[in-house]
Amino acid sequence: MVSVSDKTLLEFKSRFEPPLQQLPINVVSRSTAITKEDEYPVQFEFITDTYVDFKKHQVTTYITEIQGTIPGSIKISGFEIIPQHLHINCEYEILSITNNELLALLNDENPMLTYSEWLLEAIENEILVLEVKAQNSQLVDWPVGIKNAYFL
**CA gap 120, 146 in Å, rounded:** 10
pLDDT at 4: 65
| Mean pLDDT, rounded, of the chain | 90
**Confidence band for 126, pLDDT divided at 50, 70 and 90:** very high
Burial of 102 (0-12, 13-18, 19+ CB in 10 A): buried
Check pLDDT > 50 for residue 21. Answer: yes
**Confidence band for 152, pLDDT divided at 50, 70 and 90:** confident
Domain-wise residue ranges, the chain: 6-144
Of residues 6 and 44, the one with the higher pLDDT is 44
**Confidence band for 121, pLDDT divided at 50, 70 and 90:** very high
pLDDT at 24: 92
Check pLDDT > 70 for residue 96. Answer: yes
List of E strands, 56-117? 58-70, 74-76, 79-81, 84-98
Check pLDDT > 80 for residue 145. Answer: yes
